[in-house]
């Protein structure tokens, strides 16, 4: 056990501590599934697993509450696996190293996995407690939420029996979510034509780092830098004005994270090296000024390197022009919900893979037609650049129901507990709720959770004080339905 098990409410933090010790990358949740099945067996609770790997654990009602409707508590098993470049860590083997720091729980150099480990912990705490009165409960734990929602897409027919579903995958205490954006991925594959490095060129490695990164839904409206986008601007400048030849360009990792780092190998004619160095310094100062408020730790470095091959001019031009020209960031704000990002796109990653260059992007919108239009705009840029383009199946948004009984109960419980009115809103991030609603249109749903920051990045942290409020609200809602 770690120091976090001494935090209150202890019943939740002990479960969270146990979860942090179990490796659970997306698509590799096997050990987490084993833990959940063993938990159910230990507590004498019925447990069921579907073909996708999703697990549901059921608990009968407290005596006298058997006639109440079933409440489904839903969270996802997998976590985003991001670490700082200087940290040695194997997400498939190593336990998360969680610690307490000035009112927050953080991890040493990696994502914490509170998204959605803290939601799982709260559900398990309710299942384990013998002191909380409730109607029939079921806790649904889905797989692979972070890299495609495949658990929710392939949910077994009899996994959900509840009338009310409480999603435990939100990140702002004091806010109750009743809607979310749908999403789709657009992937481009560029041919990686190469040729020998011409004579008379000097090679450099340029690294862009120190960006905050973050969730490509929650944080897309925060004005953060996109490492792929910024570095492409520099390469474009070098190609246009200094005869730059591109050897390599890579950046970003996960489709649902704003990329924090990128690097490139590039070559400049020796006689133009001094000019390029001056241009590089001007560019560095420009982007530092451009992002002074939102990215104060941005770093751009230039160092000598080696390479014997470069992309053909045509291959490099196609790639860089596409990266510079792609729609990226906030594309539209909602007119229905003030302050809500309606439509966005994220240039998530650029990777060299087996003779090709693979560029992954994701589009989100709370309006289905706008989501499709954004994906087509991205596809158009890629197609004009000569890339092969494909789209994921995508997932639907969750249309808000501001008149549901579940929302009324949750809002009343919050007001009674804390003496203030919660914010009721939709979220630009994707939740699994839209898929549940497609399969079970009779469901009433809300989503709430404690406060998390830096989600999907090594800066992920969980505010300790809000976990108690989150837990008290969850217990009150379950008791009231």
Both 221 and 101 in one domain: the answer is: no
In order along its 481 residues, the chain shows pLDDT tens digits of: 579 999 999 999 999 999 999 999 999 999 999 999 999 999 999 999 999 999 999 999 999 999 999 999 999 999 999 999 899 999 999 999 999 999 999 999 999 999 999 999 999 999 999 999 999 999 999 999 998 889 999 999 999 999 999 999 999 999 999 989 999 999 999 999 999 999 999 999 999 999 999 889 989 999 999 999 999 999 999 999 999 999 999 999 888 899 999 999 999 999 999 999 999 999 999 999 999 999 999 999 999 999 999 999 999 999 999 999 999 999 999 887 788 899 999 999 999 988 899 999 999 998 889 999 999 999 999 999 999 999 998 888 898 888 999 999 999 999 999 999 999 998 898 889 999 998 899 999 999 999 999 998 899 999 999 999 999 999 999 999 9
Both 23 and 90 in one domain: the answer is: yes
265 beta partners: 205, 248
288 is catalytic: no
Task: State which of 334, 360, 391 marks the end of a domain.
Answer: 391
Do 374 and 270 meet the contact criterion of CB atoms below 8 Å apart? no
pLDDT value, residue 218: 86
Say what the pTM is.
0.75
CA dihedral 149, 154, 160, 166 (to 10 degrees): 0
Both 225 and 161 in one domain: the answer is: no
* Percent of the chain that is helix, strand, coil (3-state, to 5): 30, 30, 40
Q: Which of 17, 78, 173, 459 is catalytic?
A: 78
Do 148 and 429 meet the contact criterion of CB atoms below 8 Å apart? no
Both 144 and 38 in one domain: the answer is: yes
308 is catalytic: no
Both 308 and 401 in one domain: the answer is: no
Q: Which of 29, 145, 250, 460 is catalytic?
A: 145
Both 374 and 349 in one domain: the answer is: yes
CATH of the domain at 217: 3.30.70.360
Say how many C-beta atoms besides its own lie within 10 A of residue 392's C-beta: 17
Both 300 and 210 in one domain: the answer is: yes
Task: State which of 391, 419, 449 marks the end of a domain.
Answer: 391
The range of the structural domain enclosing residue 347 comes to 184-391
CATH of the domain at 122: 3.40.630.10
């Amino acid at each position: 056990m770690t120091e976090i098990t001494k935090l209150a409410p202890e019943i939740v933090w002990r479960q969270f501590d146990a979860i942090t010790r179990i490796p659970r990358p997306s698509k590799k949740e096997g050990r987490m599934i084993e833990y959940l099945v063993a938990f159910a067996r230990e507590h004498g609770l019925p447990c069921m697993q579907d073909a996708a790997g999703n697990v549901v654990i059921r608990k009968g009602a407290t005596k006298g509450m058997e006639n109440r409707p079933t409440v489904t508590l839903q969270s996802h098993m997998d976590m985003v696996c991001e670490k700082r470049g200087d940290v040695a860590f194997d997400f498939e083997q190593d336990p998360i190293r969680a610690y307490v720091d000035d009112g927050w729980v953080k991890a040493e150099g990696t994502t914490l996995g509170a998204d959605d480990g803290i939601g799982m912990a709260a559900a398990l705490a309710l299942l384990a407690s013998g002191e909380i009165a409730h109607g029939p409960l079921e806790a649904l734990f889905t797989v692979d939420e972070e890299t495609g929602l495949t658990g929710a897409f392939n949910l077994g027919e009899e996994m959900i029996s509840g009338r009310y579903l409480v999603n435990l995958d939100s990140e702002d205490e004091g806010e109750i979510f009743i809607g979310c954006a749908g999403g789709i991925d657009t992937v481009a594959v560029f041919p990686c034509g190469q040729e020998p490095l011409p004579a008379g060129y000097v090679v450099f490695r340029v690294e862009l780092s120190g960006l905050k990164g973050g969730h490509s839904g929650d944080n897309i409206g925060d004005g953060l830098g996109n490492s792929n986008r910024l570095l492409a601007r520099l390469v474009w400048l070098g190609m246009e004005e200094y005869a730059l030849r591109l050897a390599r360009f890579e950046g970003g990792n996960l489709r649902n994270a704003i990329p924090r780092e990128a690097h490139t190998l590039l070559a400049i004619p020796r006689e133009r090296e001094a000019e390029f160095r001056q241009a590089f310094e001007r560019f560095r100062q420009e982007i530092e000024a451009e992002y002074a408020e939102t990215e104060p730790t941005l770093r751009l470095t230039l160092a000598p390197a080696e390479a014997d091959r470069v992309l053909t001019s045509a291959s490099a031009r196609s790639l860089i022009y596409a990266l510079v020209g792609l729609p990226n960031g906030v594309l539209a704000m909602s007119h229905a919900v003030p302050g809500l990002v309606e439509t966005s796109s994220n240039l998530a990653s650029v990777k060299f893979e087996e003779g090709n260059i693979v560029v992954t992007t994701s589009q989100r919108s709370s309006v289905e037609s706008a989501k499709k239009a954004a994906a087509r705009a991205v596809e158009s840029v890629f197609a004009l650049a000569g890339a092969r383009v494909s789209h994921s199946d995508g997932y639907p948004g969750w249309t808000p129901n501001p008149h549901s009984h579940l929302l009324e109960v949750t809002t009343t419980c919050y007001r009674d507990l804390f003496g203030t009115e919660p914010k009721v809103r939709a979220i630009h991030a994707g939740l699994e709720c839209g898929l549940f609603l497609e399969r079970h249109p009779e469901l009433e749903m809300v989503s709430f959770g404690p406060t998390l920051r830096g989600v999907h990045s090594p800066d992920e942290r969980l505010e300790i004080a809000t976990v108690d409020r989150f837990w008290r609200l969850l217990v009150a809602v379950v008791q009231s339905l």
